[in-house]
Structure 1
Amino acid sequence: MSPAILFLTFIIVQRLSELVIAKRNTARLMAEGAREIGAAHYPAMVAMHTAWIAALVVFGWQNPVSLPWLMIFAVLQGLRLWILTTLGPRWTTRIIITDTPLVNAGPFRYLRHPNYTLVVAEIIVAPMVLGLVWVAVLWTILNAAMLFVRIRAENAGLAPHRD
Structure 2
Amino acid sequence: MSSEALYVVLVVLVGLERLAEVAVSRRNAAWAFERGGVESGRGHFPVMVVLHVGLLVGCVVEVLVADRPFVPALGWTMLALVLASQVVRWWCIASLGRQWNTRVIVVPGLPLVRSGPYRFLPHPNYLVVVIEGAALPLVHGAWVTAVVFSVANAALLTVRIRAEERALTAAVAA
> What interval of TM-score do these two structures reach, taking the shorter chain for normalisation?
over 0.9
Q: Residue 60 of structure 1: CA displacement?
A: 2.7
Superposition map of 1:3-152 within 5 A: 3-60=6-63, 64=70, 66-99=75-108, 100-152=110-162
CA displacement 1:101-143 (0-9 Å, x = unmatched):
0100011011011111110111111111121111111111100
Taking only the aligned residue pairs, the percentage that are identical comes to 35
Gaps of 5+ in 2: none
Q: Residue 19 of structure 1: CA displacement?
A: 0.9
CA distance in 1, matches of 2:12, 2:53: 14
CA distance in 1, matches of 2:61, 2:11: 10
Q: Counterpart of 2:143 in structure 1: which amino acid?
A: V
CA displacement 1:72-126 (0-9 Å, x = unmatched):
2111221112111111221110001112001000110110111111101111111
Secondary structure, in 3 states, of the residue corresponding to 1:101?
A: coil
Runs of 4+ deviating beyond 6 Å: none
Secondary structure, in 3 states, of the residue corresponding to 1:22?
A: helix
CA distance in 2, matches of 1:60, 1:127: 8
Q: How many residues align structurally?
A: 162
Gaps of 5+ in 1: none
